[in-house]
Structures are given as C-alpha cells and as structure tokens.
A and B are shown apart, each in its own frame.
Chain A
Amino acid sequence: MTEPDAEFHRRRKSRALVTAVLLGAFVLLIFFISIAKMQH
C-alpha cells in the first residue's frame, strides 16, 4: 500500500469513528430532551 493509500484509509477510518460517536451522542441527547420536555 502506497503512502497516500494508507493516509486515505486512516482518514476514512477516523471520520467514520467521529461520525459514529457524534451520532451516538445525538441519539442520547434527543432521548434526554424528550424526557426533559415531558417533565417540564
């Protein structure tokens, strides 16, 4: 694997990881907002 190929895969992997973490956090946030709105 050439250097740009390795960099390509590294970037895609880190972007996928960051996206997954943000999506997870977003789902949790929506869950907590729903609870707070019901109690408010």
Chain B
Amino acid sequence: MTDAAIPAQELPADWRDFLALTKPRVMSLVVFTGLCGLLAAPASLPLVLGFTTVLCIALGAGAAGALNQWYEADIDALMKRTAGRPLPAGRMDRQSALHFGVGLSFLSVILLGLATNWLAAAVLTGSILFYVMIYTVWLKRRTPQNIVIGGAAGAFPPVIGWAAATGDITLLPVLMFALIFLWTPPHFWALALFIESDYARAGVPMMPVVAGERTTRVQIFLYTLPMVVCALVPWGLGLAGAIYGVVALIGSLIFLGFSAQVGLMRTQVAEGAKAERRLFYYSIFYLFALFLALATDRMMAA
C-alpha cells in the first residue's frame, strides 16, 4: 500500500453499491412472477433446483438492471429519482458496473442451464438481451412506445419458471407472458404521469412528454381492455379454476374502474395526482394477486 492518502473519488465501490446496481425493488416482482410460473407448472422440481431457478431469475434480472444502469448513467444523473444511484453519484466507475453485469449474466444463464434445462436458460438469455439491447439501447431514448415493447423483458420470468419445471412452453405460460406484457403500459404510464417532469428533464420520450397527458390517459385505458381480457382467458379456457377466476374477475373490474377514472379524466394531473398514484400502486397489487391466485389454484388442482 502506498503512503500517499487515497482521494475520496478513487475509493473502491462498497458492496452495497453493487447490490443497488441490481435494482432489488424491481427484482421482487420479477422473482415472484417467476416463482408463480414454476409453481403453476404441471411438473415439480426438487426444492434445491426450484430454489436455483428462482435464484437464477433474480441474478438475471439483477444483471440486466446493472447493464441498464451502466448504459444509462448519463440520463440517470439528470433525474431526481435516479441521481443517487451508484454511477451518477460517482460511487462506482462504469467499468466495474459493466464487468459486474456481464459476469452476473453469464453466471445466471450457465447455472440455470446446468441445474434445470437449456430451454429455460435460453429464455433467460433472451430476456436479459431484450432488456439491455432492445429496451435500454434501442427503444428507450427513441420512441414513446419504449415501455410497450420493452415491457416484454419483464414478462419472461413466469415462462422461465415454467420451462425450468417442464422443459417446454405451453399456452398458459404464454398467457402469463401476455398478461404482464399488457399490464406494463398502464402501470408505467400511470407512474410517468406523476413524475413527468423528471423524464422531460432527461429527454426520455415517455408518452406524457411526447404525446401529451390526454393521449397518455386514453392509451392507459385502451391497454387496460386487452389486459383484462387476457387476465380472464386462463379461467375461460379451463386452464385455471374458480380461485383464480374470482380473483381475476374482481381484480380486473377494480383495475378497469381505476383505469377509466384516469383515462377519462379531461383535466390536468390534479395536485398530488391521487387517481394516477392509486392506479399505479393498485396495478402492483393486482399483478401480485393474480399470480398468487393462479399458483394457488394450480397447486390445489394438482
């Protein structure tokens, strides 16, 4: 070790900063839907292999989050919500974030392939590449439809869980994928409506910034309609039972009500954005409830 004092900016990043790179809060929904895909599958895995599957989904999501933060450090620095992240705050150098993200990607894919099967590993690879290359690099800075197509990246976990357990992909995991895919636009646009100024400052073409608030509200409502249909299809086709049917029906009607309130509102976002916040937080609860009901239903029927 040298005798000279080490400048503060050259300090090695703390392990907590590496953890923050993985976006742990976003990861919780990804892990939960992945676990539900695993539990809803008609085949079961030994506990340790099931645990490894969920771990690999979490590691893959963390890797994608780290690579996303590596690429977006410049715009993260411009937004209040993200300015405190390790890279824009100067607590970590970009190369460390890149190495961490790439390393974690390889680890998650290889471990999943060896522990379960290579179909699940291939879907995990696809989800990481989709989030990093299609959403982060290609779409996010170019089009207000960024989260519509990019939402597919977050829809892969239940398919990965199902594929890990069964070795194939059937209609139900595709419907679970479609549900998350169609849920993403109303969820994120509700958020974008009350943090609009932040996205505008960073020049990210989110729907409210580019097309205006009125169009965003209408789009929220329009995307809710196919999402509700998609939520009810597993029950309608007999792929899920009464528990799921009741939760999906009641939950979707409430979602539709909240979405209509936001979508049909003609005035600007009110002080505190009450309706938008309510839709945003309810949408998280809705997805948790539907996947929990589906997993419970399928496990009881097995």
Which residues of A does B touch, CB under 8 Å?
2, 4-5, 7-8, 11-12, 14-15, 18, 29, 32-33, 35-37, 39-40
CA distance A4 to B3 in the complex (A): 12
Task: Looking at the assembled complex, report how far the CB atom of A13 sits from the nearest CB atom of chain B, in whole angstroms.
Answer: 11
B47: chain A residues within 8 A (beta carbon):
36
Which residues of B does A touch, CB under 8 Å?
5-8, 11-15, 45-49, 52, 55, 114-115
Contact of B115 with A37 in the complex, beta carbons under 8 Å: yes
Contact flag A12-B12 (CB < 8 Å), given A4-B6, A5-B6? yes
Contact of B49 with A33 in the complex, beta carbons under 8 Å: yes
Contact of A4 with B5 in the complex, beta carbons under 8 Å: yes
A33: chain B residues within 8 A (beta carbon):
48-49, 52, 114-115
Which of chain A's residues has its CB closest to B114's CB? Answer: A33
List 5 A-B pairs, Cβ < 8 Å: A33-B52, A33-B114, A37-B49, A39-B46, A40-B45
Contact of B12 with A8 in the complex, beta carbons under 8 Å: yes
Contact of B49 with A40 in the complex, beta carbons under 8 Å: yes
Which of chain B's residues has its CB closest to A25's CB? Answer: B55
A2: chain B residues within 8 A (beta carbon):
5-6
A5: chain B residues within 8 A (beta carbon):
5-6
A35: chain B residues within 8 A (beta carbon):
48
B46: chain A residues within 8 A (beta carbon):
36, 39-40
B7: chain A residues within 8 A (beta carbon):
4
Contact flag A7-B115 (CB < 8 Å), given A32-B48, A36-B46? no
Which of chain A's residues has its CB closest to B52's CB? Answer: A33
CA distance A12 to B12 in the complex (A): 7
Task: Looking at the assembled complex, report how far the CB atom of B164 sits from the nearest CB atom of chain A, in whole angstroms.
Answer: 12
Which of chain B's residues has its CB closest to A12's CB? Answer: B12
Contact of B8 with A36 in the complex, beta carbons under 8 Å: no
CA distance A24 to B261 in the complex (A): 52
